[in-house]
Every structure is written in C-alpha cells, then in structure tokens.
Structure 1
Amino acid sequence: MGYAEKRGDYYRARYKIAPGNYGTVRDEFGELIKFAKKRDAEKAADEAEADIRNGRVTAVMKADMSFGEYVNKWYSVQDLAASTMQNYRRHLEEHILPKFEDEVIRRIRPMDVNEWEKEQRAAGYAESSIKTWRGTLHLVLADAFDEGLADSNPAARRRGRGKRAGRSSKRGPEKVITTMLGVLLIAERAALLSGRDDEFVAITTKGYTGMRWGELVGLETEYVKEDGIRVEWQLYELDTGEFHRCPPKDDSYRTIDVPKWHSELLIEHLAYKTAAPCSCHERDYVFTGHRPSNTSVRRVGAKLVDVARLAGVSTGTVSNFLNRPDLVAAGTRPAIEAAIADLGYVRGGVPTQLASHWRRNGFATWLFKPAATGWYPAKAPRAAQPVPILGNPFPGVPARGRGAAARADASWLPVAAGLTPHGLRHTHKTLLVELGVARPLQDERLGHLDGTVQGRYSHVTQTMRDRLMADLTEVWEQALELRRAMSPGSLVVALDRLLRAT
C-alpha cells in the first residue's frame, strides 16, 4: 500500500515496486510531484501501486538506464550554488563517469564501487578526496534508488564495517597550525615576496579572525568598520577563471569583532590603497591580486617572442639585448635590431596592471607556502629550491632574477612546514580554545552553527566580546615583542611602524 512522505512543506507519494524497493510519483517529464495535502499524496501512491500490480505499467523500473544517461538528467535539474555545481561536475566528469558511465544502474554492485575506490587510491589520490567523490556517487545513486532505478544504493557503507582499521588507516594527517608569532613571521615574509603590504595585512587578518579564503578575497572596503569586519559576501573562483560573488558559505553572515590595533591596521591599509574598483564587479575590495593581470592576449602589436622568432634567437637573448646588451654577442645584435625595427616592437607594451584578485593557487604556491616553509615549489624543469635571500637586514631580502641563487647568501628556515592558508582558520580556532573563549562566540566568529539544544540556549554577551578583544590584544603584543627581539625594524612598512611604536 502506498503512503505519503512529509518533505518540508509538501508531501511526496511513495509506492511499492518490489520487496524493499519503493518509487516516487512523478509527472510525464520525470519531475517530482509535490502534494500540498497528505490525502492527495496517499491517493496518488495507491494508484501508482495498483498500476504496477495490474500490469498497466511495464517500464516503471527502467531497468536499462545507464549511469551516464541518468547523471545528465540528474545534474541538469540541480539548483545549487555555483561552487557546489562546479564541484559536482568535476567529481562526476573526472573521477566517477570514467568508471560507471556505460554501466546500467541496476547492475552496479557494492563490489564495483569498492573496486573503483581502490583504483582511485592506487592512483595516488588523497583519502579525503576519495571520500568526497564517493559521497557524490552515493548522492546520485540514492536519488536513482528513490526513482526506482536500483534495488539498493551500492555506494552505501555498511554501518560499523571496518570500523577500527578503516578509520585509523584512512584518516588524513592532522591539519598543521602555527603560533601567533608564526602568523606574524609568515605575514612579513609573504609581504617581502610580493613587495607590498597587502599580504602582511591579509595574512594577519586571516590569522586573527579565522575568515574563510573566499571571505577574505571578497572583503569589500565598505564592510571594514572601526569595531569589526562585516562578512556579507565571498568571491568563489570558478574553473573558468571568473570570480563568482555570492553569499558566504551556509549563509554565515556575521560581524567579526576586531581589537583596536587590528582595526587601525586595516583602516591604515585602506588609507594607502590606490587600486581602482575591480573590472569584474566594479566594487572596491580591501585586497587585490599580487601579479599582473593576464592582458597579453588583448595586446596589439608585436611581442618579445615574435622578435625572438624573427631574429632566430631565444627570448632570453632578446631580453638580454634589451636589459644587458653587453651579454649578447656582437654578431647577434644586428639580427635582433632588424627584427625590432621590422616588427615595430615597443618595449613594455601595455602598462602593467595588477590582477583584481588573488588566485587561490598562485597565492598559496608562490607567496604563502614559500613564506611558511622557506622553499619555492618544484616547477618543471626546476626542482623545489630554497627561497634565496640576502640575509641582512633581518629577515632577509628575497633575491630575484637570473643568478638569484648565486647572489644570495642565506635562505629562510621553515616557520610551519605543511601549513596552508586554510590552516590559519584552524590556527584561529585553536587560539580561541586556548584562550578559553565561550563556544557560542567561537561559532559566531568562524561562521559555524551549533544546532544542539545547548547551542540554542547559549548566547554571546558583551562581556565575552570585551574579554576576547583584550586577550587578542595581549597575544598580538606578545608576538610583536618576540619579533622585536629578533630585529627592531622591518622592510615591510606596516610592520616597521608597529615595531617602532612605543
């Protein structure tokens, strides 16, 4: 006998297809019918079940539908955030469809899913990634089961199976965190690598607020107040390279209290900021990208590579001709000069313009990780190498350009090997625990929601806020004092003012 299932503000009609297998009443286009009244849903379910018993429906099971066919339909009807849709598409296209696209849904068995998971593991993917992809597969197959396309969900795990060995062997490494002195040192190094104060202010802000990466990149100037930072938007970087302006994760709108010193640091940063509104959203953001925007494809006229090709030399030789002509052989110079004249090459081309926003990968790879570990990552054909620096004054000036390693006399020691930008969010959470901050205030700052009864009955008070602001100020002053003991000044302008202030 069919029944009505309550789903929020509507009922759906469920009917028995076979023992242990139920379907859901849908319209002729396959869309779920939402009933306002329980009685109507029960009636529709009974009618659908009667049709099956009497043989009036012969294709309800759709036994020959392939996984790929179903996924195309499934994905097209989802209506979720752009970031979620992008992640689902990536999981399906890159990791799930190559294995299951041509498989008939009803013939997929748990052993097939386990074999696929084993293959992903053998390919070297992280356990956390495999768990995420299996979660997407489970979601799709659960919907397929609800529609009567499968007898069960083969991606479901048996409760308790492999409980001891499975959890211990598949658990990812613990997230790396650092101290507040570590936050300060990493922020200073990142600013030295970028040659400006933005990275110092941004990393300090992330370490002392626990903001998510998208919230930090998407922080607009109008939401920086004297008493706190208002989180209203985030910028999510899509695979297309575009930045999607959207609400914060899980609608975690909030105001993050900041102590006086932090507010002054942000306001002072904005006072010196000269960047125009971004071209993608026409809004003023607190932080901008650290590398030139990729405008080469829009430039008119000859490029340096065109000169090199016409002259029959490498781009490095042309660069030397323009910057250090004494390094270029006398017999090669006429060919380069003729190529420049023939092509009308203008050195510099379009004036350099910084990108409007950081790219997550670029920021982490070329600024944050070198600052945290002291090493530049491997980039073919070069292997990973220490950041070459001139050791004086402290903490050292990064050497750049050709022969940087030969000119350097030192390199940085690691501050926190393995730390990531997201690790600063964990660092802030740990600091709050260390300071004994009440759980409701911890959740408020991080944008978390405690749905328990205790969470509903616990509230944030002004006394809690005042105590936290005093504690954060004390922690900040201790970190500054430890940094001052290493050297009384800094090449980072914002930090130098703080170190020399009495």
Structure 2
Amino acid sequence: MGYAEHRGTYYRARYKIAPGKYGTVQDAAGETIRFRTKREAEKAANNEEAKVRDQRRQAATPSQMSFGAYASDWYASQDLAASTMQNYRRHIEEHLLPTFQDKMLDEISRTDINAWEKEEKAAGYALSSVKTWRATLHLILEDAYDEELIDSNPATKRRGRGKRAGRSRHRSPEKVITDPLGLLLIAERAAILSGRDDEFVAITLMGYTGMRWGEVVGLETGFVRPESIRVEWQLYELDTGELVRCPPKDDSYRTIDSPEFLWRLVSDHTARITPSPCSCHSLTYVFRGLQPANRAAHRPGAKLVDVARLAGVSAATVSTFLNRPDVVAQATQVQVKEAITRLGYVRSAPSGEPAAHWRRNGFATWLFHPAATGWYPKKAPHDARPVPLLGEPWPGVPVRGRNAAGRANTCWTRIGPGLTPHGLRHTHKTRMRGLGTPPKLMDERMGHLDGTVQARYDHITHEMRMALLAGLTAEWEAALDARRAMCPSSPVTALDELLRSL
C-alpha cells in the first residue's frame, strides 16, 4: 500500500514500484505534487501503486502467473527444516495442485477456495488437516501478494461472519490417556510381542518423561545421565524412509529430571544390549528397531523366545536343544518339545532381527496398538482380530503362524482403546497435574514455552523438582505392587527383575 510522507507544510504521496524501491507522485511536468492533507496523499499513492501492479500483470506471461508454476518456484526458494519441507510438499502436491494448478493467480477467488475447502471436508479429511492445508495456501498466496502478483490474498479468512452452524460436530476427540498401571501393562505387552526389552523400557520412558516419539528414537547413549535425560536431538522419519537427525521440535532442548528407577532402568538396558553405532548416522542409540516395517507382530511362525517362555526355560536352552539335544536334560526336552508343538514353531522361519531404528508406523500398528487394545488392526486382507494367546505363563504367549487363532485359548483385555504413543505425552502431563506440579516445571519437562508475564516471573526450585520425582516414584512403585499382585513374575526380563527385587 502507498503512504503519505509528511514534509512539514505538506504531504507527498509515496508508492511502491518494486521490492525496496518507492516512487513519488508527480504532475505532468515531473514536479512533486504537494497535498494539503494526509488522506489525499494516501489516496493518490494507492492509485499510482494500482497502476504499477496493472502494468506488471499485463507484462507477465500466463506461465508466470499460474498457481502451479508459482507454487513450484515458491517451494524451491524455501530453506526450512526437512520435516517442514516434506509437509509443505505433501500439502501442495496432494491437496492444492489438483484443484489450483492450472488457475492463474489472479483468477483464484475466495469462492474457489471456500468450495475447495468444503470438498476436502466432504471427502472425509479431518477438520484440523484441512485447516493446515488452507494455511499453506494462504502462505503461498501471501508471498504472491507481497510480490505484487495479486491485488489481495483470497485465502485470508474474513471475520465477523457470525457463529457457524455445526462447528461443534467437527471437534477433535478427546485424547486418550492411561494410568501408571495401564502404562506398565502396555509396556510389558509390547515387549512380549517383540520378544525383547527395548519396547518395555521405551514405553516406560515416554510415560514418565513425556518425551516425543522422535526424541526417544533419537536418544543417544551419551545423553542418558545419572538423574536426568538430556534431549538434544530427534530422528525425524521422512516419506522416503530416511531418518534425519535434527533438533527437537521448536528447538525444545532440555534436561529432564529422571527418578532413580527410570534412569537405572534405561542405563541397565543399555548395558545389557551393548549397542553399537548405526550405519546411517555412525552414532550409538539407546533403542533399536526391528526389521523394515517392524513386522515382528505379524510375521509367519512363532519365535524361539516364545517357545522359551512357554517351556519356562531360557532362549539359550531352546537353542541348545535344537542344535545339541543330547546335552539337555530329558525333562527339559519334553517341556521344549511340547512348547514347540503347541506354538507351531518352525525352525528357520523369518524373525524380527534388530534394525537400526524403529519405524513410527510399524511400532504403533504392530506393537503399541495391540498392546493397548489387545487387537491387531485391520490390514488387508485381514480384518481386525484379537491377539491370539496361550494363557500360560501369564500374561500370555503370542501364538503365531497358521491357524494361530485356532490354537489360541485366550486374549488380552483392552487397556486404552484409542491410546497412541503420543497419548503418553498427554498421560505424563496429566499425571504431573495430579501431583500438583507447578506449570513452569511441567512446561520444562514437556518442551513447551509459555510467553506470558506470569511465566516470566515464575521460577523452578530444587524442592519442586524433588517433590515431582518423589510423586512419580510413588506412582511407579504402586503400579509395580499392583502388577505383582496379578503375578509375581514376568516373561519380560527387565520387569521380572523389578518384580522379584521388591
């Protein structure tokens, strides 16, 4: 927009010619016109600026003005985090270009955008997703407006239109959380499904620190310290499958105070598995994934560790029986043979080998969701189905392979239908609220930033930190007591040691 510049006894009208370059309204003789009032000068400046925009549009070729061409150049000019670039590209290619690609920038109207938004909602997309895509469209068109390729931004929401009918129907569902015992049981089940302790330790860590998924996957061994966990990096998974090492979301670097039970659990786990540097980053991480797509839960055949659990012996004993049965006691041989028969174990069947890192979808779909709900999700060609189990030893041994459902004799009850890994952040915040934790300390642990005046004058004391750690420890011990009352042992090594130590 043009503006009026006060020159003491008069105003002169200034208008934008190009980025960083302004002209002055002149008469036919080339003399600066002196306006008596500010309003007159602004009006003349705006009129002159409109003429400049018209001349620029008339000189532009259609290819320079199409939304598709401009969006492509706009995307190429951005220099943002890999996660942001991926999201922008997905928004543009999947949701904006199908409708607006061939339209000229100055042909896109507010009516067109509202019609597109209505179609996206009718297609079943979440209201929050459509809102995000419109925000990206607004950002692109706002830059086009700044470059004076369009007169105004048609994606700008107009206010003051009154209450929109039916808005309450589009509210997002309340986030599902769980309690300390539910967290413990879900962690145990996930470890049973994977056949190792990594999932038990990781889920417990998320539930008692509120760490984000990428921060847990990207937790390096050097950042596990006595009495604290340092969040310095995350691993962000791109659509290509590449895991990018980048700063935590919103640069939320932080040191999270850790109860003694938690940092010992993580430290003991690291010492037990002795991790080595991954091939993708040449760094040593606390947690390992499973093979690509994390198919541990639905690959064919039972695992050797499943046989060991059912037989009540170690995995090493089962391996010895398969390779040198003559050195295994007769009674143990009978137990192992019976377990192999009941589980349908096939030697050399595909198994979940350790991979460098988890994949978000595989972890959530085949480990976390079944652990929280007791059901495998619908996945073509299979419908949703209960996790097939043998009831002994408690809390059950997963049955895999052909006719798994026919050989199973029990299944898990639901703990948290709808609970997701991200829901553990909500769980941790809720538990802190219940313990009376000050908001400043909660924000620090969660990696949130409160810019209010109240937060500026709020400070965290040592006593506050100790009170929170004591409360979290008390909840953990109560959950262990409740779990011990169900059964004094566990097939998960880390949990079994905890249950027997108290």
1:58 positional shift: 2.0
Change (3 A) 1:129 1:57: closer
- Asked if structure 2 preserves the Cα contact closer than 8 Å seen for 1:388 and 1:410, the reply is yes
1:74 positional shift: 0.9
Query: Which stretch shows the higher mean deviation, 166-175 or 486-495?
Result: 166-175
Equivalents in 2 of 1:367, 1:45: separation in Å? 62
Look up the match of 1:425.
Answer: 425
- Asked if structure 1 preserves the Cα contact closer than 8 Å seen for 2:290 and 2:353, the reply is no
1:401 positional shift: 1.4
SS of 1:165's equivalent? coil
Choose from 11, 18, 21 the match for 1:25. 18
SS of 2:244's equivalent? strand
Query: Which stretch shows the higher mean deviation, 166-175 or 224-233?
Result: 166-175
Change (3 A) 1:197 1:58: same
Equivalents in 1 of 2:379, 2:426: separation in Å? 29
Choose from 46, 53, 59 the match for 2:23. 46
Look up the match of 1:259.
Answer: 259
Equivalents in 2 of 1:456, 1:128: separation in Å? 31
Equivalents in 2 of 1:3, 1:81: separation in Å? 37
1:15 positional shift: 7.1
- Asked if structure 2 preserves the Cα contact closer than 8 Å seen for 1:2 and 1:46, the reply is no
Look up the match of 2:442.
Answer: 442
1:292 positional shift: 5.8
2:18 aligned partner, one-letter code: V
Matched ranges for 1:87-166 at <5 A: 87-161=87-161, 163=163, 165=165
- Asked if structure 2 preserves the Cα contact closer than 8 Å seen for 1:292 and 1:352, the reply is no
SS of 2:358's equivalent? coil
Change (3 A) 1:58 1:156: closer
Look up the match of 1:59.
Answer: 56
- Asked if structure 1 preserves the Cα contact closer than 8 Å seen for 2:99 and 2:116, the reply is yes
Equivalents in 1 of 2:455, 2:61: separation in Å? 47
1:104 aligned partner, one-letter code: M
Any gaps of 5 or more consecutive residues in structure 2? 5-12, 26-44, 295-321, 323-346
Deviations 1:255-281 (A, max 9, x none): 000111111101110110133211100
SS of 2:285's equivalent? coil
- Asked if structure 2 preserves the Cα contact closer than 8 Å seen for 1:2 and 1:45, the reply is no
Task: Output the TM-score relative to the length of structure 1.
Answer: 0.79
SS of 1:45's equivalent? strand
Task: Output the TM-score relative to the length of structure 2.
Answer: 0.79
Equivalents in 2 of 1:293, 1:417: separation in Å? 23
- Asked if structure 1 preserves the Cα contact closer than 8 Å seen for 2:53 and 2:148, the reply is no
Matched ranges for 1:483-502 at <5 A: 483-502=483-502
Deviations 1:462-493 (A, max 9, x none): 11101100000011111111111211111111
SS of 1:58's equivalent? helix
Equivalents in 2 of 1:394, 1:292: separation in Å? 30
Deviations 1:37-69 (A, max 9, x none): xxxx5xx22369798588698215759511111
Look up the match of 2:191.
Answer: 191
Look up the match of 2:10.
Answer: none
- Asked if structure 2 preserves the Cα contact closer than 8 Å seen for 1:192 and 1:397, the reply is yes
1:374 aligned partner, one-letter code: G
2:71 aligned partner, one-letter code: V
- Asked if structure 2 preserves the Cα contact closer than 8 Å seen for 1:63 and 1:149, the reply is no
Equivalents in 2 of 1:272, 1:174: separation in Å? 39
SS of 2:182's equivalent? helix
- Asked if structure 2 preserves the Cα contact closer than 8 Å seen for 1:231 and 1:256, the reply is yes
SS of 2:436's equivalent? coil
Change (3 A) 1:192 1:199: same
Deviations 1:377-416 (A, max 9, x none): 1121111111001112221111111121111101111110
Change (3 A) 1:56 1:224: closer
- 2:446 paired with 1:453: no
- Asked if structure 2 preserves the Cα contact closer than 8 Å seen for 1:277 and 1:283, the reply is yes
Query: Which stretch shows the higher mean deviation, 154-163 or 114-123?
Result: 154-163
Look up the match of 2:327.
Answer: none
Matched ranges for 1:454-469 at <5 A: 454-469=454-469
Deviations 1:177-209 (A, max 9, x none): 111111111100000000000000000000000
1:433 positional shift: 1.1
1:226 aligned partner, one-letter code: P
Query: Which stretch shows the higher mean deviation, 106-115 or 236-245?
Result: 106-115
Equivalents in 1 of 2:397, 2:351: separation in Å? 26
Look up the match of 1:33.
Answer: none
- Asked if structure 1 preserves the Cα contact closer than 8 Å seen for 2:293 and 2:362, the reply is no
- Asked if structure 2 preserves the Cα contact closer than 8 Å seen for 1:24 and 1:147, the reply is no
1:441 positional shift: 0.4
1:174 positional shift: 1.1
Equivalents in 1 of 2:430, 2:356: separation in Å? 32
Equivalents in 2 of 1:395, 1:161: separation in Å? 57
1:150 positional shift: 2.2
Look up the match of 2:79.
Answer: 79
Change (3 A) 1:110 1:379: same
Equivalents in 2 of 1:215, 1:426: separation in Å? 16
Deviations 1:105-153 (A, max 9, x none): 1121122111111211222211121111111111111212222222322
Deviations 1:341-371 (A, max 9, x none): xxxxxx9799985220000000000000011
- Asked if structure 1 preserves the Cα contact closer than 8 Å seen for 2:214 and 2:234, the reply is yes
Matched ranges for 1:60-459 at <5 A: 62=60, 64=62, 65-161=65-161, 163=163, 165=165, 167-291=167-291, 353-459=353-459
Change (3 A) 1:288 1:81: same
1:3 positional shift: 5.6
Change (3 A) 1:15 1:108: farther
Equivalents in 1 of 2:122, 2:211: separation in Å? 35
1:182 aligned partner, one-letter code: G
Deviations 1:195-247 (A, max 9, x none): 00000000000000000111000000000001100000000001111110001
1:95 positional shift: 0.8
